[in-house]
Amino acid sequence: MSEHPAGSPRNVTPKPEWLKIRLNTNANYKYVKAQVRDHHLNTVCEEAKCPNIHECWGDHRTATFMILGDACTRRCRFCAVKTGLPRDLDEDEPRRVAESIAAMELAHVVVTMVNRDELADGGARILAETVRQIHARSENTTVEVLSSDLMGDRESIRIACESRPEIMSHNLETVRRLTPQVRSRSTYERSLLFLKLVKEIDTESATKSSLMLGLGETRDEILEAMDDLLENHVNLLNLGQYLQPTRAQLPVQKYWTPEEFAELKERALEKGFVHCESGPLVRSSYHAGDQYDHYRRRVHPLYAGD
């Protein structure tokens, strides 16, 4: 295990075989791309340079929609989404997102957002309206929200929760020790507070978080983060390999092996998570629909036979 802190000099071997990505530009991929363009939408798949874009768009015809513009008010050192002054709020964005999802006939969608720290509610109102519009136009579609921390403001979190997404997700991203070096204007404790408040406001909501591995964390620190999430009643966990999007972001300190990811998944389930996706190419919304189906069958007896 590498003990180098994030951003320090390190010697990392070339990208291993298990991280090679299969390209897929079939009809499904082109259809999703056209829907995104035609409705003037942003996706985190493109903005964050997700390695799974060809699988999700080409094989599953799914996308993670990014709302509230394409400029983030924070500059996290792992993220390729551009930082800058955000544009005025687009009040029509919830309708366009919802209409695109209805046209694609998606069973499960993920809606994420840039940080909008200049707004009093952090963008919670537009986020909530997007969820409501999706449910109104696609009543059989389940919605997962991947939210910013909304600065830990209870009222903003309440606004988001009352739109009733099936999953409310917020990423811890990394272990406690590395948070100040990896994340901008974010704190480990505020992320835990966000997840705790979600459960207090909506006890029926499933909560989810994700960790990137390869920034210099130790196995013990990962297990500690798991315990911290469980103490705040988080149900679902994703673990994936951090990949440097461009040379402007933090370098990789270690490539965790598929076997190590499998062992961490086993530990996560033993500790009490309802479901855990764990693997080198896993990202926040990876196989999100399957994950929600698994959660529903485990937690809600009415769906146990599905």
Q: What is the pLDDT of residue 90?
A: 93
Q: Does some domain include residue 49?
A: yes
Neighbours of 240 (CB within 10 A): 23
Q: Kindly state whether residue 272 falls inside one of the protein's structural domains.
A: yes
Domain containing 96: what range? 22-303
The token pair that represents 100 in the structure block: 């695109």
- The verdict on residue 17 lying in a domain is no
Residue 16 lies in a domain: no
279 lies in some domain: yes
Q: Is residue 174 part of a domain?
A: yes
The verdict on residue 67 lying in a domain is: yes
Q: What is the pLDDT of residue 216?
A: 97
146 in any annotated domain: yes
Which of 87, 113, 111 is closest to 100 using CA atoms? 111
Enumerate helices (H) and strands (E) in the chain, giving the number of each.
11, 8
What CA–CA distance (Å, rounded) separates 296 from 306? 10
Number of domains in the chain: 1
What pLDDT is stored for residue 95 in this prediction?
94
Task: Write down the pLDDT at residue 246.
Answer: 87
* Binned average pLDDT, 10 residues per bin, the chain of 306 residues: 49 70 60 63 54 52 79 90 88 93 85 94 98 95 94 97 96 97 96 97 93 97 98 96 91 96 98 95 74 79 54
Contacts of 133-137 with C-beta under 8 Å, sequence gap 24+, read 133/94, 133/95, 133/97, 133/98, 134/97, 134/98, 134/101, 134/109, 135/164, 136/98, 137/98, 137/99, 137/101, 137/102
> CATH no. for residue 43?
3.20.20.70
Distance between CA atoms of 255 and 48, rounded to whole angstroms? 19
Say what the pLDDT of residue 47 is.
Answer: 47
Q: Are 210 and 240 in contact (CB under 8 A)?
A: yes
Distance of alpha carbon 69 from alpha carbon 60, whole angstroms: 25
Edge-to-edge strand list for the sheet holding 167-169: 42-43, 64-67, 108-113, 142-146, 167-169, 206-213, 236-241, 275-279
Give residue 156's identity as a one-letter amino acid code: S
What pLDDT, on a 0 to 100 scale, did the predictor assign at position 64?
80
